[in-house]
Amino acid sequence: MKKITFNILLILLTALILIFLNQLGLLEKTAKLMLVPFIAFYYLGQYVERKLEK
């Protein structure tokens, strides 16, 4: 999987999750935890970047 494809998929996944949480009204309640998925995606991106280099 190319790096740009992976980035686009993660952006779309994050957007879908945020839209879903907003529709359920949970976005205000979980605002403190919004950084957790971004940190996880950051480390996942680092892992994939290392794998794609080889």
- The model's pTM: 0.55
10-34 pLDDT tens trace: 888 888 988 887 888 877 776 667 7
- Contact indicator for 3, 47 with CB cutoff of 8 Å: no
CA dist 15 and 38 (Å) reads 12
Is the pLDDT at 3 greater than 70? The verdict is yes
Percent of the chain with pLDDT over 70: 89
Q: Note the pLDDT of residue 30.
A: 67
Q: Which of 7, 17, 12 is nearest to 37 (CA)?
A: 17
- DSSP 8-state assignment for residue 46: H
- Beta-carbon-side half-sphere exposure of residue 54 (alpha carbons within 13 Å): 4
Say if residues 52 and 3 touch (Cβ distance below 8 Å).
yes
